[in-house]
Amino acid sequence: MPRIMASLILFFSIAAAAHAEVYTWIDSRGIAHFSDYPPGEIPHSQVQLQEPVTVPMAENLRQGRRISGIREEVNELLSSSERPEPGKSRQDRADAKLKKTCAGYRRKLDHIQSRLRAGYSNDRGNMLRRQRRTLSQKLSRECILG
């Protein structure tokens, strides 16, 4: 019987800690305070805590493999890029330049994607998403649609 009571007390204390409320208030000196109990007579507000976002390990591994494959493709494109020779036609030089430009767009997109995955502040995230959108549009117009 004492074991059951002890386990129930332990369970309820853990459950209470998991659902604790957080309060915030500013004192007369302008200092912000946070606590798990209300300050009494002082005006206060309750802070709404959000659950942490977790990514399942399988999804994380899948994304890692996909990104590694994309990087390998880009490295192959960069290493096997054809150098324009003096005897090549104007069309061949234009094709080589376009291929180099497209590889640059893809490299920049991969870099922005990795920065977005690494974490960012809100303003930085908006800027990175705007850059990604612009580069994706350029890549589509110039490289995919021709």
The predicted-structure confidence for 67-121, as pLDDT tens digits, reads as follows 999 998 888 888 765 554 555 688 888 888 889 999 999 999 999 898 888 887 7
121 and 64 within one domain:
yes
> Using DSSP, how many helices (H) and how many strands (E) does the chain show?
4, 3
Q: What is the pLDDT of residue 104?
A: 92
Domains in the chain, number: 2
Contact 102, 139 (CB under 8 A): yes
User: Quick one: which H or E segment has residue 22?
Assistant: strand 22-26
Structural domain containing residue 62: 57-144
Provide, rounded to the nearest whole percent, the portion of the chain with pLDDT above 70: 82
Same domain, 75 and 43: no
Domain check: are 122 and 61 in the same one?
A: yes
What pTM was computed for the model?
Answer: 0.38
Same domain, 117 and 98: yes
In a domain, 52, yes or no: no
Tokens 């494109």 -> residue? 77
Q: Is 40 left (phi over 0), alpha (psi -120 to 50) or beta?
A: left
Q: Based on the fold, state whether residues 37 and 89 are members of the same structural domain.
A: no
**Same domain membership, residue 105 and residue 64:** yes
Residue 122 belongs to a domain: yes
pLDDT of residue 131 exceeding 80, the answer is yes
| HEC sequence for 54-72 | CCCHHHHHHHHHHHHHHHH
Domain contains 84: yes
